[in-house]
Structure 1
Amino acid sequence: MDETDDLSWADAWPGDGPELGEIYCLTFIKGVDEAEALRRMGGLPGTVATRAREDVADLHNYDDGYPEVALALPLGTWTVVFEPNGFQGSHLVEVLSRGTEAVSVLRHDYASPSFEYAVDGVLITGFDPTFPTYRHGADPDRLLSRMRDVGFPEDEEDEAVDDPIARCLEVVGDLTGVLPAFDDLAGPLTSAHIETWFVEAHPVQTTRPGHDGPVDALAEVRRLSGLHGLTDTPGLADALAAAERGQAVAVTPDSPLGGHVRAWLTESRRASWAPNDPSARHRQPEAERLRGNGLGWLAKALGAALQPHRAL
Structure 2
Amino acid sequence: MTSVSAHDYAWIRTSPLFRHMTESGYTLTLIRGRTPREVLDAMAAEPCGTGEGTAGLIEANHAHEVDDYWDESYVAGAFGVRGENGDWTLVLGFDSGLGIAEPCAERLSRGGRVVAHSTNGGKPIDLFHWFEDGELRTAFESPQWREGATPDALVPLLRDVGFPLTFEGVHDDGAPDVDRKAGVLALAERLTGVRVTESLLVNASYELGLVPD
User: TM-score by structure 1 length?
Assistant: 0.53
- Tell whether the 8 Å contact from 1:48 to 1:193 is kept in structure 2 after alignment: no
Instruction: Give the CA deviation at 1:164.
Output: 1.2
Compare relative contact order (CA 8 Å, sep 6+) and give the higher one, 1 or 2: 2
Q: CA separation of 1:171/1:38 partners in 2, compared to 1, >3 Å: closer, same or farther?
A: same
- Residue 68 in structure 1 maps to residue 70 in structure 2: no
Q: Is the Cα–Cα contact under 8 Å of residues 29 and 97 in structure 1 kept in the other structure?
A: yes
Aligned partner letter, 2:51: T
AA of the residue aligned to 1:165: K
Classify 1:57/1:8 alpha carbon distance in 2 versus 1 (closer, same or farther; 3 Å): farther
How big is each residue's C-alpha offset from its partner over 1:38-88, in whole Å with a ceiling of 9 and x where there is no partner? 11222114x243352332343244435664011112112111111124434
Q: CA deviation at 1:8?
A: 2.7
Of residues 107, 132, 141 in structure 1, which corresponds to 2:119?
107
Cα distance in structure 2, aligned partners of 1:36 and 1:184: 21
Structure 1: gaps (5+ residues): 196-264, 266-312
Check 1:146–1:177 CA distance in 2 against 1; reply closer, same or farther (3 A cut).
Answer: same
Structure 1 residues 197-212: aligned runs within 5 Å: none
Q: Report the CA distance shift for 1:64/1:91 in structure 2 as closer, same or farther (over 3 A).
A: closer
Q: Across the two proteins, how many residue pairs are aligned to each other? A: 186
TM alignment of 1:169-208, pairs within 5 A: 169-186=185-202, 187-195=204-212
Q: Is the 8 A contact 1:132 1:153 kept in 2?
A: no
Distance 1:167 1:146 in 2: 10
How far 1:100 sits from its partner (Å)? 2.0
**TM norm structure 2:** 0.75
What do the CA deviations read for 1:253-293 (whole angstroms, capped 9, x no partner)? xxxxxxxxxxxx6xxxxxxxxxxxxxxxxxxxxxxxxxxxx
Tell me the secondary structure at the aligned position of residue 156 of structure 1: coil
Indicate whether 1:81 and 2:101 are aligned.
Answer: no
Bigger proportion of residues as strand:
2
Cα offset for 1:90?
4.2
Q: 1:16-31 maps to which residues of 2 (within 5 A)?
A: 16-20=14-18, 21=20, 22=22, 23-31=25-33
Distance in 1 separating the partners of 2:176 and 2:124: 17
Residues 59 and 188 of structure 1, relative CA distance in 2, 3 Å threshold: farther
What is the CA-CA distance between 1:98 and the residue it aligns to?
Answer: 2.8
2 CA distance for matches of 1:88 and 1:141?
A: 25
Gapped regions of structure 2 (runs ≥ 5):
1-6
User: Partner of 1:136 in structure 2?
Assistant: 147
CA distance 1:17–1:95, shift in 2 (3 Å): same
- Which is greater in Rg? 1
Q: What is the rounded CA distance, in whole Å, between the counterparts of 2:177 and 2:140 in structure 1?
A: 13
Aligned to 1:119: 132
**Map of 1:50 onto structure 2:** 51
Letter in 2 for 1:145: P
2:162/2:178 contact within 8 Å kept: no
Change (3 A) 1:78 1:188: closer
Deviations 1:200-255, CA, capped at 9 Å, x for gaps = xxxxxxxxxxxxxxxxxxxxxxxxxxxxxxxxxxxxxxxxxxxxxxxxxxxxxxxx
Once residues 69 and 87 of structure 1 are traced to their aligned partners in structure 2, the CA distance between those partners, rounded to angstroms, is 13
- 1:151 is matched with 162
The question of whether the paired residues in 2 share the 8 Å contact of 1:127 and 1:135 is answered with: yes
Whether the 8 Å contact between 2:79 and 2:205 is mirrored in structure 1 is no
Name the residue aligned to 2:40. 38
Q: 1:126 to 1:86 in 2, by over 3 A?
A: same
CA contact (8 A) 1:29 1:103 kept: yes
